[in-house]
Amino acid sequence: MKIGIIGGGAVGLLFSSYLSEKFDVTLLVRRNEQMTLVNRSGVTLRRSNRSITSYLNGEILSGKMTAYDLIIIAVKEYDLESVLTILRETDKRVPLLFLQNGIGHLSRVNTLPHLNLLAGSVEHGALKENDHSVIHLGIGKTNLAVIRGELNSAEELLIQKIDYFPFILQDNYEVMMLKKLFVNVLVNPLTAIVGVKNGRLPANPHFLHIQNNLFEELLILFPQMKNHIHFQEIMDICLGTSENRSSMLKDIEEKRKTEIETILGSLLLKAEKDNHFVPIMNTLYELVKGIEREGQGG
């Protein structure tokens, strides 16, 4: 199976490395420098004390993509719009798998004419070292669910077992995405603000109190999730990824744009529309936006 992976960040490099063990993978990136490095040196994956280099194709992302059996979109949500424009020019029969955080992008994804649209929820920890190297910090799984149509060729991700990189099929994509959203909301903004690893949140009673309040605010917005996720599940994830630095914390440290609009901004709009009071969410949003602005020179 021929797979195109759009995005040369941590997730794109991670997926490229593992999937190239079983499939013909092309990494589609925006910069010539990254394309050249990938084609010359491959993609290097570091896990524990091991280092593995996979040799695959690197190409510049454009509207004239070679025919693929599956396209995986691994860019951040705020970079998605230009990618959607390119995807509209691709073969409508090719399944598209989206790996973005949050839920705000799903309405735009649904405007695509493709027959088979899929969502993915990534539970791995990954850190991009450079344009062709990634560290696999935490081994998890990738949940898959159908947004529209069928799995089609993406079913091969479930059939072809890859060590340390499992795929699990979920029945309901909305529940799957909301579960990931709950985790992102309770972990990312708080770690970014206080500058701690994931494991410090449940270990500190003051951080834990904020997380508990956040969880209750989320249930106000999404009461249908009461029977699908519990607070302790998220605490277990924090403990299981205790040494991980969240993606939002890494963005703050590197003075990059964060995904705060994707993770909290869209929820604040929903809260305003539905006339709900979510003070903890609002405070965390303003703090992250303020820190982000200071880091970018203001």
One domain for residues 160 and 184: no
Tell me: do 167 and 181 sit in the same domain: no
- The residue segments making up the domain with residue 242 are 176-295
> What mean pLDDT, rounded, does the chain reach?
94
Q: Is the distance from CB of 259 to CB of 77 less than 8 angstroms? A: yes
Identify whether residues 75 and 206 lie together within a single domain.
Answer: no
Is residue 201 located within the same domain as residue 154?
A: no
pLDDT tens-digit profile of 99-132? 999 888 998 999 999 999 999 999 888 989 999 9
Residue 51's CB is within 10 A of a number of other CB atoms, namely 11
Question: Which pLDDT value is given to residue 65?
Answer: 76
Residue 292's pLDDT is 93
HSE (CB half, 13 Å, CA atoms) of 12? 25
- Residues of the chain with pLDDT > 70, as a percent, come to 99
Residues 27 and 99 in one domain: yes
189-204: per-residue pLDDT in tens? 999 999 999 999 999 9
Q: Which two tokens stand for residue 272?
A: 């305003």
Q: In this predicted structure, what is the pLDDT of residue 298?
A: 60
- Burial 13-45, CB ≥16 within 10 A → b, else e: bbbbbbbbebbebbbbbbeeebbebbeeebbbb
Q: Annotated catalytic residue: which of 92, 180, 255, 289?
A: 180
Task: Indicate whether 102 and 15 sit together in one domain.
Answer: yes
Give yes or no: residues 145 and 277 share one domain: no
Do 15 and 128 have their domain in common? yes
Average of per-residue pLDDT across 217-240: 95
Residue 166 sits in the same domain as residue 180? no
pLDDT digits (tens, 9 = 90+) for 144-166: 999 999 999 999 999 999 999 99
Catalytic residue flag (residue 180): yes
Do 146 and 228 lie in one domain? The reply is: no
Residue 49: what pLDDT? 87
What CATH number did the domain enclosing 109 receive? 3.40.50.720
Q: Which of 127, 142, 171 is the last residue of a domain?
A: 171
Taking residues 75-82, report their average pLDDT.
93
125-130 vs 70-73, strand pairing mode: unpaired
Q: Are residues 150 and 219 in the same domain?
A: no
Residues 126 and 199 in one domain: no
CATH of the domain at 274: 1.10.1040.10
d(Cα 261, Cα 268) in Å, to the nearest integer? 9
- Residue 269's contacts (CB-CB under 8 Å, 6 or more residues apart) are none
Count of domains observed in the chain: 2
Which of these three, 152, 171, 190, is where a domain ends?
Answer: 171
Where does a domain end: 171, 189, 209? 171
Q: Mean pLDDT throughout 63-82?
A: 90
Q: Give the pLDDT band (50/70/90) at residue 66.
A: confident
